[in-house]
């Protein structure tokens, strides 16, 4: 099984910014953990990050025939990008939405996800574990 982990804007700064809040684990380290998790789940995990909405869309478009599922943390685009929503709906590749922080504890404008309605489900608030649970949920879903 092939899974794409797609990280949205500003996530490249993980472990480098505000370590007091987000910890000192870098995005690279998260990717390594997810790749290791993938091996246990008999799954090849590929990780990509971009700050560009268009590039995220391009990557989603490239999924059919190449990946069996997507775990996406669309970052701030979660709340503003109908285009990413349409991309996920169009390619019809099972997608799980994850977030490091609990969006509901933050500003009002982060409470609405434009992409949630086209994903299988949503996991938020568990830090790095959100990604790991998302990967696991997706693999379980695909095996059914």
7 binds its own copies (CB under 8 A): no
**CB distance 15 to 23 below 8 Å:** yes
Reported in sequence order, the residue ranges of the chain that DSSP labels E, i.e. its strands, are 2-7, 44-49, 69-73, 95-99, 121-124
Q: Which of 15, 32, 86, 142 binds its own copies (CB under 8 A)?
A: 86
Q: What is the smallest separation between the CB atom of 37 and its own copies, expressed in angstroms?
A: 12
Measured CA to CA, the distance from residue 141 to residue 144 in angstroms comes to 6
Q: Catalytic residue numbers?
A: 22, 99
Measured CA to CA, the distance from residue 95 to residue 74 in angstroms comes to 12
79 binds its own copies (CB under 8 A): yes
The residue written with tokens 């949205």 in the block is 8
Helix (H) or strand (E) holding 143: helix 128-143
Segment contacting its own copies by CB under 8 A, of 24-32, 33-41, 74-82: 74-82
Site string for its own copies, 39-58 (x = CB under 8 A): -----------xxxxxx-xx
Residue ranges that bind its own copies, judged by CB under 8 A: 8-10, 12-13, 17-18, 50-55, 57-58, 61, 75-77, 79-83, 85-87, 90-92, 102, 104-105, 109-114, 116-117, 119-126, 129-130, 133, 136-137, 140-141
């Amino acid at each position: 099984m092939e899974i794409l982990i797609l990280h949205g804007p500003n996530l490249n700064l993980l472990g480098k910014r505000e370590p007091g809040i987000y910890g000192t684990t870098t995005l690279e380290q998260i990717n390594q953990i997810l790749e290791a998790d993938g091996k246990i789940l008999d799954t090849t995990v590929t990780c990509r990050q971009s700050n560009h909405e268009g590039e995220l869309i391009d990557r989603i478009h490239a999924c059919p025939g190449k990946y069996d599922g997507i775990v996406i943390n669309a970052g701030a685009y979660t709340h503003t990008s109908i285009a990413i929503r349409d991309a996920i709906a169009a390619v019809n590749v099972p997608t799980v939405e994850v977030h490091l922080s609990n969006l509901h504890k933050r500003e009002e404008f982060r409470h609405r996800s434009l992409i949630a309605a086209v994903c299988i489900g949503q996991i938020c608030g568990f830090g790095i574990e959100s990604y790991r649970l998302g990967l696991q949920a997706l693999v379980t879903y695909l095996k059914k």
